[in-house]
Amino acid sequence: MRINCVWEHNGDDSILYADNFVGAFTRGASKEEAIAKMPEEIRRFQLWCEEKALDNCDIVIVQEKESELQIKDADSDVLFASEKEPLSIEEYQYLKALALKSAEDFYALYNSFPDKDKSAAIYRKTFYGAVPRTAEEMYQHTKNVNEYYFSEIGVKADNEGTIVSCRERGFEALEAVPDFLKLEPVMGSYDEQWSVRKVLRRFIWHDRIHAKAMYRMGVRTFAAGVIPDIFNFSG
């Protein structure tokens, strides 16, 4: 199957996004490294989605974005060409269900940690501050983009409650906007373009980045088998 990919890069550092598997991504020190990782990422992503894994993948780059952001730290501002298009109600319901499943699974992963403040991860600082190290820090960081993402498309939301409940309320607020499926892309903070499709993709992608980091940290920190592989990262 053809996997349409968007390549965002800063020099050699690359993020590759699967346009037709919303939220699936790979990173690499080069485009070639990111491409090489994509078939396995799609397989694991489909396992998480409870879909039949593809037998083969034809990786095709359909869009390129040269960025000034710290791509190696998974900073991103790309808007896919496909994300400028209106959504059908069927597409929206499917992507919303994935975004809520992602939040539920992230919350379950977080709750599986016997000590949410314990971590074997080393302290690391980027231009944007310290990288979250513990399950608690990763959870709070991931949950607290809720208000930011929805506000970028003009929807009033908050970060109260769990990652699941605040995301559900955000979608309820979005759905109260007249013709929300046809909203045009808008310029948000930091000169970054946003759309409804992008918000849906960013939730799943952002969850996946930090769930992967949380799972791997948990495996290193606790005894084998303590942390469940909810997202099939080792599958």
The whole-number pLDDT of residue 27 equals 95
The whole-number pLDDT of residue 128 equals 65
pTM of the model: 0.95
Q: Into which CATH architecture does domain 82-221 fall? A: Up-down Bundle (1.20)
Q: Into which CATH architecture does domain 2-77 fall? A: 2-Layer Sandwich (3.30)
The whole-number pLDDT of residue 71 equals 86
User: How big is the chain, counted in residues?
Assistant: 235
**For the chain, what are the domain ranges?**
2-77, 82-221
208-211, Cβ contacts within 8 angstroms, sequence gap of 24 or more = 208/23, 208/24, 208/25, 208/102, 209/25, 209/74, 210/106, 210/132, 210/138, 210/141, 210/142, 211/102, 211/105, 211/106, 211/109, 211/142
List, for residues 160-174, the tens digit of each pLDDT value: 999 999 999 999 999
The whole-number pLDDT of residue 130 equals 84
Mean pLDDT value across residues 199-221: 97
As a whole number, the mean pLDDT across the chain is 95
CA distances from 97 to 91, 146, 168, 175, 225 (A): 10, 16, 10, 14, 28
Mean pLDDT value across residues 22-40: 96
Q: Of all helices (H) and strands (E), which one includes residue 92?
A: helix 89-111
List, for residues 80-115, the tens digit of each pLDDT value: 999 999 999 999 999 999 999 999 999 999 999 999
Residue 76 has pLDDT above 70, yes or no: yes
The whole-number pLDDT of residue 102 equals 98
List, for residues 47-73, the tens digit of each pLDDT value: 999 998 888 899 999 999 999 888 888
Evaluated on CA atoms 122, 48, 110, 112, the torsion sign reads negative
Residue 127 has pLDDT above 70, yes or no: no
Q: By C-alpha distance, which of 172, 216, 205, 218 is closest to 75?
A: 205
List, for residues 134-154, the tens digit of each pLDDT value: 999 999 999 999 999 999 999
